[in-house]
Amino acid sequence: MALMTGEQYIESMRKLNLQVYMFGKKIDNVVDDPILRPSLNSVRMTYDLAQMPEYEDLMTATSSLTGEKINRFTHIHQSTQDLINKVRMQRLLGQKTAACFQRCVGMDASNAVFSTTYEIDQKYGTHYHENFKKFLTRVQQNDFTVDGAMTDPKGDRGKAPHAQDDPDLYLHVVERRPDGVVVRGAKAHQTGFINSHEVIVMPTIAMREADKDYAISFCCPTDAEGIFMIVGRQSCDTRKLEGAPMDTGNPEFGGTEALVIFDNVFIPNDQIFLNGEVEFAGMMVERFAGYHRQSYGGCKVGVGDVLIGAAALAADYNGCAKASHIKDKIIEMQHLNETLFGCGIACSALGKPTKSGNYLIDLLLANVCKQNVTRFPYEIVRLAEDIAGGLVVTAPSEIDLRDPKIGPYVDKYLKGVSSVSTENRLKVLRLIENLCLGTAAVGYRTESMHGAGSPQAQRIMISRQGNLEMKKELAKKIAHIEE
């Protein structure tokens, strides 16, 4: 079974024994919880679209390991066209969900670990690459959703992992056994962990010899003994409990973040991909970050498409779509959104093969892509809020609209153009609220800033990759400078 249906995916998640906590209580039924279910629906879309012939080229690929047809989210990139198709697929899914569909992290982790393990084995004669290929073959054959876990809590940012007052603030090995290792720590901001079958854990920063126990990468099931999750709060999350779906803005789809605790989790040797080879921790981090920064040139653009459409609808419903300043603002939103997409495609088109054979994006352009993502969605959001008007944050609830006594007043006084119902006007305003301020802020606005690393992390990589000395030589040659 190389491709699951969406329904099969949902049922497969029911079989897991996930340990999930929210609002101080253990969630017994993660799949059907009203706050968590929209995020599961977003992942489901990655399975549903893969079943549709019109999306086959984007959503599926041929496995380089088995030769079978697989979901592209489990694929190892074999060409620049694969890299381009990845970005196009992510834009499509952003358009279909207007939320985070969560499988990108595992796909990006897989490609980073694939090439890094190959180079570790070349130097040390280890078997990490074979370990990873066996794991990935099982993932592809079962069409598992895989999360990628990189971000540690970090504690005091001025101290290295081994120098922290609490050693668990970076995930690390606490016991070495003949058959494996025991790890302890946590991974923060984990998008999609709750909706994944497996996880790939990676170090979060480059490391030195003193941090050897922290240079660890492995895979394990998300319901492994010793793993539990604490769901992160999102603005407006309890609106899903009110029985007023219009007030959520996006009733069907969403995203979920969690703090994931690894409380003395045993990892067998054949599930380990890095174990103390500190000089390769930085390579794994850099490659994963590059792939994931490329991803934002697709997913955020797709969600941006929905927000631009919602802003244009709001202008229609408000009766101001023909105003020249409204037209200009929508053009600017489109210009910024397509610029992000252009960066995602550019870093893909200039990708090159690694020693292992899979393709790596152009790291400089991937970081430029993500640096733009830390800025442009904020301007798109500002313009959307400008166009929509203040009712985005002052509208009464759906319950008020449905109330027999006060509902008619809401309907009468919050109507825009006469041909559009008040309900439809409020629905599009709630969608804008969701994308700009509410539960989708983690999947669009705020995540645009911090997802795949902080803005400064990208600037550091741009500095490293920018080849400033070469540019100085160009200037000297043109100016006939001799030194």
Distance CA 116, CA 129 (A): 8
Q: Which residue has the tokens 């990708």?
A: 351
Q: Is 100 a catalytic residue?
A: yes
List 9, 104, 129, 444, catalytic entry: 104
3 state DSSP class of 212: helix
Q: Is 129 a catalytic residue?
A: no
Q: Which two structure tokens, joined as six digits, stand for 463?
A: 């500095």
Q: Is 257 a catalytic residue?
A: yes
List 97, 117, 145, 191, catalytic entry: 191
Residues in the chain: 483
Rounded-to-5 percentages of helix, strand, coil across the chain: 55, 15, 30
List 219, 220, 299, 436, catalytic entry: 299
List 47, 74, 97, 100, catalytic entry: 100
List 257, 385, 398, 433, catalytic entry: 257
Q: How far is the CA of 145 from the CAs of 3, 70, 103, 376, in angstroms?
A: 11, 12, 6, 30
Q: Which amino acid is at 333?
A: M
Distance CA 77, CA 64 (A): 9
Q: Is 220 a catalytic residue?
A: no
Are 404 and 201 within 8 A, CB to CB? no
3 state DSSP class of 312: helix
Question: Is 116 annotated for ligand binding?
Answer: no
CB half-sphere exposure, 294, CA atoms < 13 A: 36
The burial class, CB within 10 Å (0-12 / 13-18 / 19+), for 254 is buried
List 292, 347, 436, 439, catalytic entry: 292
First and final CA of the chain: distance in angstroms?
65
Distance CA 349, CA 371 (A): 18
Q: How far is the CA of 392 from the CAs of 183, 238, 387, 427, in angstroms?
A: 46, 18, 10, 10
Q: Is 296 a catalytic residue?
A: yes
Distance CA 162, CA 212 (A): 9
Distance CA 344, CA 365 (A): 8
Q: Is 248 a catalytic residue?
A: no
Q: What does the CA dihedral 276, 147, 462, 367 come to, rounded to 10 degrees? A: 160
Question: Closest Cα partner for 435 from 383, 394, 381?
Answer: 381
List 9, 118, 128, 296, catalytic entry: 296
Phi, psi of 174 (to 5 degrees): -110, -15
Question: Closest Cα partner for 60 from 38, 88, 40?
Answer: 88
- Binding site for FAD, by residue number, is 191
- Binding site, by residue number, is 191
Q: Show which residues are catalytic.
A: 100, 104, 191, 257, 292, 296, 299, 447
